[in-house]
Every structure is written in structure tokens, then in C-alpha cells.
Amino acid sequence: MVNFKVNIDKLYSMMDKCNICPKKCGVNRNRGQQGLCKTADKIFVASINVHTGEEPPISAKCGSGTIFFSNCTLNCVFCQNYPISQLGNGKEISLESLVDSILNLQKRGVHNINFVTPTHYSAQIAKAVHTAKKKDLVCLLFTIVVVRKMLKH
């Protein structure tokens, strides 16, 4: 059986010398330092909405409960969400507010909760989902991430 509490603690401790993603910046995000993703311990989101424009199997009839996180672990020049992923557009929200947002999206009848560019927030999202689950979260969860093979030159 998965011990969520242990895994959440592990994710937070990974931010002491951050190796949450393959960039392995080694900064102490729990003390406010930022790595290449320009993100420390606080949560920043650009939008929280019912999204009906995702791929049809995801949005379906009632929409996808989409949370766009600010910044990104990648630096794609042609990112379609450039202002959010590279310029960091968004505002700070608390963990409690993230939990409430997840549950509010569920109340609005969405088919799923959709975390967009979530990698650098893995610890915070795991904690928020764990808390939301205790408060009745039953929605399907998924993330939109870009997976890239790390090439050795």
C-alpha cells in the first residue's frame, strides 16, 4: 500500500537540494532559493478554470478542471503558453486555496482535474491532492507534462 505521507515528505525533502526534475539545480527551494524553473516553495498559478478546449476525450461534455501552474522546468522557445511557462504570469496561492480550488472544480461537474506544467510543484500538488482526498475528492487526476529524453553530448 502506498504511504502518501512518506512520499509527500520525500518530495518536500527533495527540494532541499532540488532534484525534483532532471535539471537537478541543487538549490534549497524550501529556503526560498530558485532554480531554472524560477520557483521556490510558494505556489503560483495562472488560471483555474473549466476548460472545454482540451482534446475531446479529456474535455468531453462537462469540461476539464484545469489548473495552469506558473513557470516550467523546460525552457521551450516556442511554448504555446510562453507568458505562463517562461515569463511566470500568475499569482501566489496558498496550499489551502489550491485544495479548495480542486474541490470547487469537482463541484462544477468536470470530468477530471488537469494539472498543467506541474512537475516543479510535485510536492505541493501531492500534498494538496492528499488533503483534498480526505475532503471528498473523487475526480480523476491527470497532468500535462512534456517528457523529453535527456541527451548526452
Size of site (CB under 6 A) for ligand SF4? 15
Question: Between residues 59 and 70, which has the closer beta carbon with respect to ligand SF4?
Answer: 70
Q: Say whether residue 118 binds ligand SF4 (CB under 6 A).
A: no
- Residues ≥6 apart with Cβ < 8 Å to 80: none
Q: Tell the smallest beta-carbon distance from residue 73 to ligand SF4 (Å).
A: 4
Which of 51, 111, 120, 127 contacts ligand SF4 by CB under 6 A?
A: 120
d(CA 19, CA 120): 10
d(CA 43, CA 70): 8
Cell 529524453 -> residue: 149
Question: Between residues 52 and 81, which has the closer beta carbon with respect to ligand SF4?
Answer: 81
Q: Crossing angle, helix 122-134 and helix 4-14, to 10 degrees?
A: 160
Which of 7, 9, 17, 23 contacts ligand SF4 by CB under 6 A?
A: 23
Which of 27, 99, 105, 116 contacts ligand SF4 by CB under 6 A?
A: 27
Q: Say whether residue 13 binds ligand SF4 (CB under 6 A).
A: no
d(CA 116, CA 103): 17
51 three-class SS: strand
Are 141 and 112 a contacting pair, CB within 8 Å?
yes
Which of 20, 110, 128, 137 contacts ligand SF4 by CB under 6 A?
A: 20
Which residues bind to ligand SF4, rule: CB under 6 A? 18-21, 23-25, 27, 29, 35-37, 39, 73, 120
